[in-house]
Structure formats: C-alpha cells, structure tokens
Amino acid sequence: MTGVDDAYDELYERARHVGALSKVDEALYWDEQVTMPSGGAPARSAQRAAVATARHRALTGDRTGALVDRLGGASLGGERAALVRELARERRDAMRVPEDLVERLQTALSEAQPAWREARENDAFETFEPHLRRIVDLKREFADRFDHDSRFETLYAVGEFNEPYLPLSTVESVLDRLREELPPLIRAVRESHVDPPRLFEGSFPVADQRRLGRATLEYVGYDWDHGRFDEAPHPFSNGTPYDARVTTRFDESNLLAGLTSTLHEFGHATYTRGLPTEHLGTPLGEARSMVVHESQSRLWENHVGRSRAFWAGFLPTVADAFPALDVSVGEAYAAANRVSVGPLRGHADELTYHLHVLVRYEIERALVAGDLDVSEVPAVWNEKTDAYLGVTPETAAEGCLQDIHWSVGSVASFQNYTLGSVLAAQLFAAVRRDHPALDDRLEAGEFAPLREWLTEQVHRHGQRYETPELIERATGEALTADHFLRYVREKFGSLYDL
Amino acid sequence: MTGVDDAYDELYERARHVGALSKVDEALYWDEQVTMPSGGAPARSAQRAAVATARHRALTGDRTGALVDRLGGASLGGERAALVRELARERRDAMRVPEDLVERLQTALSEAQPAWREARENDAFETFEPHLRRIVDLKREFADRFDHDSRFETLYAVGEFNEPYLPLSTVESVLDRLREELPPLIRAVRESHVDPPRLFEGSFPVADQRRLGRATLEYVGYDWDHGRFDEAPHPFSNGTPYDARVTTRFDESNLLAGLTSTLHEFGHATYTRGLPTEHLGTPLGEARSMVVHESQSRLWENHVGRSRAFWAGFLPTVADAFPALDVSVGEAYAAANRVSVGPLRGHADELTYHLHVLVRYEIERALVAGDLDVSEVPAVWNEKTDAYLGVTPETAAEGCLQDIHWSVGSVASFQNYTLGSVLAAQLFAAVRRDHPALDDRLEAGEFAPLREWLTEQVHRHGQRYETPELIERATGEALTADHFLRYVREKFGSLYDL
C-alpha cells in the first residue's frame, strides 16, 4: 500500500466521486418534483436506482476499504481525520446494506411517490397503504442489519435523513421537556384575551404570491446566479454551493404559508451556499446533518421571518404586492405569530408545530418497533392529534397523508425538525451575544452580518466536526432546550399578554 | 460460468444499468441547458464526470466482459443476439478509451460550453480557440486508440454521436452526389423569376411564438403527460419513451426558425416515444443511431412541416397566433420553402442546408487529419462558405461559432444531418407507397397513420437491426440519395417554375 499522503489523495478523489453521485440524485429529485411530466416516473425510477447502485458500489468497493483501513490507523491532522472518519462511517453503514435492498428501497420509493400524491388528492389512504407497508417493512429489514439499541435508533442515526452523532437519548430528553412545557403555554395562549388579526388569511392570487416570493428572496439576499425559485408539492431545497435551489408551495387562501416556506427553504439554501467549495462533493464540503440543516431553515423562517425587526423592514415589500396589507408593523408581527390549532403541520405556528411532530414521532416509533400496524395509522393519527392538539383531521388528506416524508423514505426524521428549532434558538442566542445590535440590522434589511456569522460558525465547517462539537464551538454549550423555551415564553408571553 | 439463459438475464440487467446512467446524463444535460443557473457549471461538470465514470466502469468491468464472451459464442435468437452484439460493441469501444481520457474529455466539454456561449455572444473566436484546440487534441487522442482506416472514420463510427454500421464510403458517395447535383439546382432557383414572399420575416413577439409552439405540438399530437416544451440556446430533444422533451429557440425576427425547430425536435421526441418500453435502458430500447434519429426529425420538419398538405390544415393555427398571417395556403407554403442564401445553417432552407454541412464536414476532416490548425478555422470557414454559397459571414458568431456542436464534443457528426435528410426522403417515399392518401390525412391534421408507420417500421425496433438492415426492411432498398434528389427537384422545380 502507498504512503499516507498518496492514500489520502486517492481516498479524497473517491469521496468526490461518491459525493458527486449523491448530488446527481438530488438533481434528479429536483427535476422529478419540479419539471418532470407526470408520465416520466418509471424511467426516472430506473435512473435513480442506477445512480444509487453506482454510489453504493463506489463506497463499498475493496479499494475504498483498503484506503480507509490504511488511513484509519494513521495519525492524521484534523480535517483529514474528519474526512476519513466520515467516509469510514458511510462505508461501514453502506456495507451492512446489500445492493438488492438498496435497489428495492429505491424502486419502492419511486412508486410510492406518485401513489402518495394520488392518495392525498383522492383522500384515499387505502391506495397508499400497500406502499407504506412496503416502505416500513423495508426500513425494518434495513434496521435489522445494524446493532443499535433499537430499530428506530438505527433509522434515526443511519441513512439519508440521518443524525449520526446526537444520541437518541438527547432527542428523547429534548422532546420530553417540550411535551411537558409546551401544552401549558399553548393553553394559556388559547385562554388569552388577545386575538391577533387574521391578516394573512383570505384570497391571495398565486401569481402575486410568486412575485412576492421572488421579492422576498431578493430582500434577504438570495443570489440568482447560484439558484432558482420554483414550486413543488412539498417544498424543499437542494443542490451545491454553486447551485442551491429553493422551492415553495403557495396556498391561495394563506399568504403566510408560502412566505414562511420560502424563507425556510432559503435558510437551507444559505447553508448549502456557505459550504466550502474547495471540498465540493467530499464530506468536508457537505452539510453536517439534517438537524443542523433544519436549524438553519428554522432560524431564517422563525427567528428572522417571524421577528418584529424583520417585519418592520419587510412590510413595505409585502404591501407593495398586496396593497390591502398596508397595516402597522405591530399588527403584521402579531398576525405572523398567530397561534392557531389546526390539523396541518405545514400551517402550524411555532408552538403547536412541535405537538404535530410528537404525533408523528410516536407513530413512527411504534410502526418501526412493530407495535402498530400500517392499517391502524389513520385512526391513531387522529386520536393523537386530538389528544395533543384538541383537533381531529376531517380527512386522511388532512391527516396521515399530509406529509410527503414516508413516500420518499423518510422514516424517523420528524423529530429532527424539532431538534432543528431547538438548535436554531440556541444559535440565534449566540449570534445576539456576538451582535448586540442585530435587531437594528435586521430591521434595516441587512442580513449579511447574520449570514456571515452562520457561515463562519456552521456552514464552512462542513462535516469537519461531529454534531455535538459543532454546537459546542458555535454556541459555547451542549444542545439544550433552554433557549428555545425561553424564546417562545418571552415572545408569546408578550404577544398574548400572559 | 452459468447457463446461457442466466448469463443473458444477468447481462440484460447490466445493460439496463449502463443505459439508465446514459439517461441520467441526458437529464443532467437537459437541466444544464434549460433550468440551471449560470453559476452552477462547476458542480454540474463534476456530476456529469462522475456519471460518465460510473457508466464506463460498469461497461468495462470484468463481469460484463465474461458475460459478453460467454454469450458471444452462443447461438442466440434475433433479439438476444442483437443485445449482445450492441453491448459487446459498446464495451469494446469503451475498453479502448482509458478512464482518465473519458474524464479529461468530460471536463474539457463542461468548460468549453460556457466558453463557447460567451465567445459567440462577444463574437470572439480567440476565447473559444484554446477550448476547441483541447477538444480536437482529445478527439485525436481518442481516435488513436482505434484502428479504423482514419481518425475521422473512428470519430464517425464510435461514441455518442455515432453511426457504427453505415460505412464512411456510403457517406462519401451520398455527399459526392449532393456536392454535384445541388449547386446547379440552387443556381436555377436563384435565377428563377419566382420570388416567394418573406411572410415569416418581421417582428414576432416571443411570448406569442411560445403559445404558437405549444399549439403546434398539440396540433401534431404531442403528449404532454410524457414531455415538456422549453427553450434552449441550441434546441435539442432527449429523454425516454416515458419523458421525451422538446426544446426550441425563438428568433423574434424569424417566425419560421422557431416553428421548424419545434417540429424538428418533435420528430426526435416521437422516435424516443416510440421505442419499446419493455426494453427500457437496454440497446433494444434505444434509438438506432444519430443518422436514423435525424431522419425522424427531418421527416417531421421538412416532409411534413414544409409540405403544402400540412400548411393547408395548419395555417389557421398560425393565423390565430399572428392574425397578419391570414394569407393563402399557396403563399404560406411558398414562404415556408423560400430558398435564401445566408451564413447560418440553423436558418437554412432544405437546399442550401447541405452546403453548410459540406463546409463543416471538410473542415472537421482536415482538423482531425491534422491538415488544418484550429487557428485557421475562422478563415477557412469563411472561404468555404463563400465558395459553396457565395456568402461570407460578417462575424465569427455568424461563422464558425454559430454551432454548439464542437463545444459539446460532437466532432465528425454534421454529415449525419445530411444523411438524415436523405434517409427521411427515402422513408417518406415508402410511407407514401403504403398510404396513397397520406396527403389527405396530413391536410386533415391526422398524423397518427404516419406516426404509427414510423413506429412500426423504425422506432419499435430499437437497435434490433444494424442500420443498413433497418433501412432495407423499412424501405425495401439500401440507403440512396435518389429519393431526396427527386423530392427536392420536384418540389423546388414546381415552386420556382424551373
């Protein structure tokens, strides 16, 4: 075997190859969601399966293994050790999953997506049920290949929507605190005499929302040379630092839905844009994890997009598109933070959102453990939604069919949204500490200081640090729900006069 | 080694994998040309290189070789033998090209494309020159790996824009006849007292052309569930039977350019749509060759789209979009076939087009042979254009920078357009033989009989037959320029009163 430097260079090139194939899949997914005609699915399914196979082979090949083994024993510097650590982890995980299981999963998912879309449109869970059953079975088969404490922990830690470094016990303790402390706060809000105006409900033509969406992205500094803005049934952002695209979904009757989703996806795209191009395609040039990604989207959606300072500067842009919204900053701010209990996670406010997550988390955990049958999902979904939120979805489309996640193979990932919110609050507190005049900048529409702080503390590191170390370095402490709970108590306490 | 049936099944799956990766590259190319933001190129270049590498590895891998060897000796039925023949050919060709050359070519092309676009915009050949030199050098290096009679023959026969089965001597003899017989016909046309109206020159807003383009595709029966219609700097069509997309380019001052390019690409898409889905991704489910592909686009562009019968039915659709074009069928038909000598191949009529091809063919042959230096291309281009057409391009943008081909690695392919026209005429004569009332159907806007004949005789066979056999079976004779020359003599003789 070659010397350490040569071995590292060769492994680095292999990492680039593997990473480029992941980005190819993202490009195919973008096309599938945004531009592909309805009849294109069978061919696209074969294409994505072929890319997954090629990536799997490159990662699990003998030569990659020899290089990882050679370098795992060497004492490398920080960045190099991180690249080897991440590639070794990905390889180890991939080795446990046989090629045919990867292909069966890909095929199942490509077939499940149109089925989910159709089932949601027709409000017919039974047509999606066999697809969901197949996905759960394959996910369980996948998890059985590993030796974590539970199947659920495997699915949480391994795979595309993974968080390999924050222990599941940390997740549980964060969720426990929210399960305990949010319901009384929500109760107090619902009993408050304050009733913020429903400014963003009504009729907002999609063409105007589209123009406002573009104006919003321009307002927060989106770079059109390195991105696009489109619509997708379930908004997402993907790509590379060179091409980080944003999608959103407009709801004619709810202006805030499209607006907050645009800012949310802008947050994801900003993370992608801030990754180091010199390490393009390697773990050092990739986002840390879904939890960290979600902290970026939540930070822009909530801590920026639902803040009084932001609305003070942004309101004229909105009023320009919708002259009826020529209201006071206070009214707009209150309306943007109106707590309203409903069946849809996608329309939820910052408080009730996490109870929607608990519903999904508990159902997924039971499905994966085998304690719940797929056929029982609609009923249990409705029961839990009622228990946590006091509302029962009237249709499956507004119930267990509302989210795209299961149909794209995302099982055991919903809790990451809540962890993202919690981390966003912690990061935003740290930015405030470093930038005491942050609100003034946000009010003036100057987002560069915030973006630069996030790039410096989070984005540019790629996967250089494991998640706990990244959080510790950026904020000075371990992941904690303190900042999130303080933030929502202060914000909603003040808004609702508690 | 396994039995013949098992070996064939395994090879078939490998063929699917290789073919799916080719289609992935087409999807990435479509995105690059249609939707990618300008800054996305570096990441896309890495992605396409990774896909090319993965495809190359799958094709040249030892297991593929063992299967091809095992089956090459077996006596297989027709379809099976064809699949093995095509895969063995692709593999043999790929084996001769080392992985690093593939990657260097991909990288060179990804960098050449924005450079070509910029050079054309700025009319600055010198900024594209180093890219073209690199491409020619790499193509020569590529050709040196093979043992055809000449480097040019290798580039003609091998690779993405290839025609492996029609001997280059056939090409030469077709081109010789056209070189001899077209100039006197063009001279007679130019000396004719007839001067068809310039109905399609003027000012045609692009938004209206876009609507007309969609209406045109609907008129000829394009299926929106399996396609899209977009704009690209250099129109193309690619995809699968499930998703065969059309692009075009609109010229505000020339309505015919966008219209004929739309019908041209529709012809390509119709071929793709007619390929057998049961063999998706394998050679049996792939288009025969570029010459055959081009015969399909030319047939729809010229034999349909520039026919009197077509205009008799289609004219109201045009007049609907552009009320000023409320003219007689005879006038529209004459205007659509106006022979006008100009510097641009893309705007050329059915006669002068092939002299543009001769210019490129002779330059490429000389470049590849080493008889011409890249720096001499602009001057030689202009000399030859003057000699063949009596016109000298005023700028490089209207001269040797007008075509995208070299920047996407297409060298030694222009003659395939002319061969496509020649084959289109031969096929159309055969359709007429089987459908004596074809003109009535075309006039009535009924295109299914024509489409079904083409699918039955050409599309559904994929690569089942070598090109000469496919032509012989569909038309009853070998490739010949007779039909094309008879067609243009009759058509232009009548139009120009010769």
Burial of B179 (0-12, 13-18, 19+ CB in 10 A): middle
- Confidence at residue B240, expressed as pLDDT on a 0 to 100 scale: 98
Tell me which chain B residues have a C-beta less than 8 angstroms from the C-beta of A43.
Answer: 23, 239-243, 280
Q: How far is A46 from chain B (nearest CA, A)?
A: 6
> What's at A62, amino acid-wise?
D
The mean per-residue pLDDT over the stretch B408-414 comes to 93
Give me the catalytic one of A90, A163, A265, A350. A265
> What's at A179, amino acid-wise?
R
Give the Cα separation of B93 and B254 in Å (integer).
Answer: 42
Reported as a pLDDT band with limits 50, 70 and 90, residue A1 is: low
CB contact under 8 A, B43 and A226: no
- Confidence at residue B34, expressed as pLDDT on a 0 to 100 scale: 97
3-state SS, one letter per residue, for A155-190: HHHCCCCCCCCCCHHHHHHHHHHHHHHHHHHHHHHH
Angle at B404 between CA B403 and CA B408, to 5 degrees: 145
CA-closest candidate to residue A247, choices A272, A264, A224: A264
Whether the pLDDT of residue A160 is over 70: the answer is: no
CB contact under 8 A, B225 and A39: yes
Tell me which chain A residues have a C-beta less than 8 angstroms from the C-beta of B43.
Answer: 23, 239-243, 280
Tell me which chain A residues have a C-beta less than 8 angstroms from the C-beta of B242.
Answer: 39-44
Reported as a pLDDT band with limits 50, 70 and 90, residue B160 is: low
- Confidence at residue A380, expressed as pLDDT on a 0 to 100 scale: 97
Sheet holding A237-240, edge to edge: A229-231, A243-248, A237-240
The mean per-residue pLDDT over the stretch B138-153 comes to 94
The mean per-residue pLDDT over the stretch A428-452 comes to 97
Whether the pLDDT of residue A429 is over 90: the answer is: yes
Helix (H, G, I), strand (E, B) or coil at B254: strand
Whether the pLDDT of residue A63 is over 90: the answer is: yes
3-state SS, one letter per residue, for A75-96: CCCHHHHHHHHHHHHHHHHHHC
- Confidence at residue A98, expressed as pLDDT on a 0 to 100 scale: 86
Select from B27, B46, B226 the Cβ nearest to the Cβ of A281: B46
- Confidence at residue A323, expressed as pLDDT on a 0 to 100 scale: 94
- Confidence at residue B233, expressed as pLDDT on a 0 to 100 scale: 86
- Confidence at residue B194, expressed as pLDDT on a 0 to 100 scale: 96
Interstrand relation of B243-248 and B237-240 (parallel, antiparallel or unpaired): antiparallel
- What DSSP state is assigned to residue B137? H
Reported as a pLDDT band with limits 50, 70 and 90, residue B1 is: low
How much is the mean pLDDT over chain A? 95
pLDDT tens digits, one per residue of B79-121:
999 999 999 999 999 999 887 898 898 889 989 988 999 999 9
| Other Cβ atoms within 10 Å of B5 Cβ, number | 10
The mean per-residue pLDDT over the stretch B235-253 comes to 97
> What's at A474, amino acid-wise?
A
CB contact under 8 A, A17 and B243: no
CB contact under 8 A, B46 and A16: yes
Q: How far is A110 from chain B (nearest CA, A)?
A: 14
Sign of CA dihedral B440, B441, B445, B451: negative
Query: Up-side HSE of residue B155: CA atoms within 13 Å toward CB?
Result: 28
CA-closest candidate to residue A307, choices A495, A159, A463: A495
The mean per-residue pLDDT over the stretch B452-461 comes to 98
Measure Cα distances from B476 to A1, B292, B422, B431 in Å: 62, 16, 15, 11
- Strands (E) across B213-333 are located at 229-231, 237-240, 243-248
CA-closest candidate to residue B427, choices B286, B285, B265, B303: B303
Burial of B133 (0-12, 13-18, 19+ CB in 10 A): middle
- Confidence at residue B421, expressed as pLDDT on a 0 to 100 scale: 98
The mean per-residue pLDDT over the stretch B411-439 comes to 97
Whether the pLDDT of residue B289 is over 80: the answer is: yes
Whole-prediction pTM? 0.93
Give the Cα separation of B321 and B323 in Å (integer).
Answer: 6
- What number of C-beta contacts closer than 8 Å exist between A and B? 128
Tell me which chain B residues have a C-beta less than 8 angstroms from the C-beta of A240.
Answer: 40, 43
Q: How far is B247 from chain A (nearest CA, A)?
A: 13
Helix (H, G, I), strand (E, B) or coil at B146: coil
Whether the pLDDT of residue A2 is over 90: the answer is: no
How much is the mean pLDDT over chain B? 95
pLDDT tens digits, one per residue of A315-332:
999 999 999 999 999 999
| Other Cβ atoms within 10 Å of B79 Cβ, number | 13
- Confidence at residue A110, expressed as pLDDT on a 0 to 100 scale: 83
Give the Cα separation of A471 and B3 in Å (integer).
Answer: 58
CA-closest candidate to residue A237, choices A85, A468, A33: A33
The mean per-residue pLDDT over the stretch A221-230 comes to 98
- Confidence at residue A333, expressed as pLDDT on a 0 to 100 scale: 98
Give the Cα separation of A172 and A294 in Å (integer).
Answer: 18
Whether the pLDDT of residue B438 is over 90: the answer is: yes
CB contact under 8 A, B28 and A27: yes
CB contact under 8 A, B37 and A226: yes
* A242, A247, A275, best to mutate vs chain B, most B CBs in 10 Å: A242
CB contact at 8 A, B245 and B227: yes
Whether residue A265 lies in the annotated active site: yes
DSSP characters over B187-226 = HHHHHSS-----TTBS---HHHHHHHHHHHHHHHT--GGG
A148-162, B260-274, B302-316 — which is least confidently predicted? Answer: A148-162
- Confidence at residue A200, expressed as pLDDT on a 0 to 100 scale: 96
Give the Cα separation of A165 and A153 in Å (integer).
Answer: 11
- Confidence at residue B74, expressed as pLDDT on a 0 to 100 scale: 77
Reported as a pLDDT band with limits 50, 70 and 90, residue B75 is: confident
Interstrand relation of A237-240 and A243-248 (parallel, antiparallel or unpaired): antiparallel
The mean per-residue pLDDT over the stretch A304-317 comes to 98
Tokens at residue A148, please? Answer: 């974590």
- Confidence at residue B280, expressed as pLDDT on a 0 to 100 scale: 96
Select from B24, B35, B44 the Cβ nearest to the Cβ of A50: B24
Q: Which residue of B has its CA nearest to A45?
A: B20
Q: What is the helix (H) or strand (E) element at residue B386, kind and residue range?
A: helix B377-389
pLDDT tens digits, one per residue of B217-230:
999 999 999 999 99
Reported as a pLDDT band with limits 50, 70 and 90, residue B54 is: very high
pLDDT tens digits, one per residue of A21-43:
999 999 999 999 999 999 999 99
Backbone angles phi, psi at A253, to 5 degrees: -95, 0
> What's at B22, amino acid-wise?
S
Give me the catalytic one of B90, B153, B163, B265. B265
Burial B205-227 (b: 16+ CB within 10 A, else e): eeeebbebbeebbebbebeeebb
What is the percent of chain B with per-residue pLDDT over 90, rounded to a whole number?
92
Select from A24, A38, A43 the Cβ nearest to the Cβ of B280: A43
The mean per-residue pLDDT over the stretch A439-467 comes to 98
Tell me which chain A residues have a C-beta less than 8 angstroms from the C-beta of B20.
Answer: 46-47, 49-50
- A interface residues, B as partner, C-beta within 8 Å: 16-17, 20-21, 23-24, 27-28, 30-31, 35-44, 46-47, 49-51, 53-54, 57-58, 223-228, 239-243, 277, 280-281
Angle at B220 between CA B218 and CA B222, to 5 degrees: 55
Helix (H, G, I), strand (E, B) or coil at B139: helix
Helix (H, G, I), strand (E, B) or coil at B466: coil
pLDDT tens digits, one per residue of A370-397:
999 999 999 999 999 999 999 999 999 9
CB contact at 8 A, B417 and B357: yes
pLDDT tens digits, one per residue of A70-84:
998 778 889 999 999
3-state SS, one letter per residue, for chain A: CCCHHHHHHHHHHHHHHHHHHHHHHHHHHHHHHHCCCHHHHHHHHHHHHHHHHHHHHHHHCHHHHHHHHHHHCCCCCHHHHHHHHHHHHHHHHHHCCCHHHHHHHHHHHHHHHHHHHHHHHHCCHHHHHHHHHHHHHHHHHHHCCCCCCCHHHHHHHCCCCCCCCCCHHHHHHHHHHHHHHHHHHHHHHHHCCCCCCCCCECCCCHHHHHHHHHHHHHHCCCCHHHCCEEECCCCCEEEECCEEEEEECCECCEHHHHHHHHHHHHHHHHHHHHCCHHHCCCHHHCCCCHHHHHHHHHHHHHHHCCCHHHHHHHHHHHHHHCHHHCCCHHHHHHHHCCCCCCCCHHHCCCCCHHHHHHHHHHHHHHHHHCCCCHHHHHHHHHHHHHHHHCCCCCCCCCCCCCCCHHHHCCCCCHHHHHHHHHHHHHHHHHHHHHCCCHHHHHHCCCCHHHHHHHHHHCHHHCCCCCHHHHHHHHHCCCCCCHHHHHHHHHHHHHHCCC
Q: Which residue of B has its CA nearest to A34?
A: B35
- Confidence at residue B161, expressed as pLDDT on a 0 to 100 scale: 66
Reported as a pLDDT band with limits 50, 70 and 90, residue B59 is: very high
Backbone angles phi, psi at A139, to 5 degrees: -70, -35
The separation between the first and the last C-alpha atoms of chain A, rounded to the nearest angstrom, is: 68
Q: Which residue of A has its CA nearest to B41?
A: A242
Whether the pLDDT of residue A251 is over 90: the answer is: yes
Select from A44, A58, A243 the Cβ nearest to the Cβ of B43: A243
Give the Cα separation of A331 and A196 in Å (integer).
Answer: 7
The mean per-residue pLDDT over the stretch B428-442 comes to 97
CB contact at 8 A, A251 and A259: no
Q: How far is B26 from chain A (nearest CA, A)?
A: 11
A57-66, A230-239, B99-108 — which is least confidently predicted? Answer: B99-108
